[in-house]
Amino acid sequence: MADTLKGLKIGYALTGSFCTFERSLKQASILAGMGAELIPIMSETASTLSTRFGTPEENIHKLQEICHREVITDISMAEPIGPKNMTDLMIVAPCTSNTAAKLANGITDSAVVH
């Protein structure tokens, strides 16, 4: 099962539903353990706000540890994802209703929704 997803490039994005970060990061770890290459992305809100669920630095560090690469945290860092065909699929977990609405309406104003 360790190589079930070997070769699959997954953009793994977190938005501001902070109370679900722990569960989301657990799923990211499972995907990485199955051999997927994860490209970590956090919305500007998720990567800058301190909450009772952790500081931005702690959350970024956890995601970097799982993905073994720098977390994309702004639009300029995220811009190459599409044109360079960097992912096979994108997972947005958690996906806030605000992010879902932006995706549905084609609004591009964050690292996750670009």
Domain count, the chain: 1
Q: Which two tokens stand for residue 87?
A: 């992912």
Residues in the chain: 114
Listing DSSP states for 52-97 in one string gives: TTB-HHHHHHHHHHHHTSPPB-SHHHHGGGTTTT--SEEEESS--H
Residue 36 in any domain: the answer is yes
Residue 1 in any domain: the answer is no
pLDDT given at position 21: 97
**What's 91's domain CATH number?**
3.40.50.1950
pTM: 0.93
Strand 37-42 relative to strand 89-92: parallel, antiparallel, unpaired? Answer: unpaired
- What range does the domain containing 90 cover? 9-105
| Residue 39, Cβ density class (10 Å: 0-12 exposed, 13-18 middle, ≥19 buried) | buried
Residue 111 in any domain: the answer is no
pLDDT given at position 68: 98
pLDDT given at position 1: 61
Give every residue of the chain whose pLDDT is below 70, as ranges: 1
Residue 4 in any domain: the answer is no
pLDDT given at position 20: 96
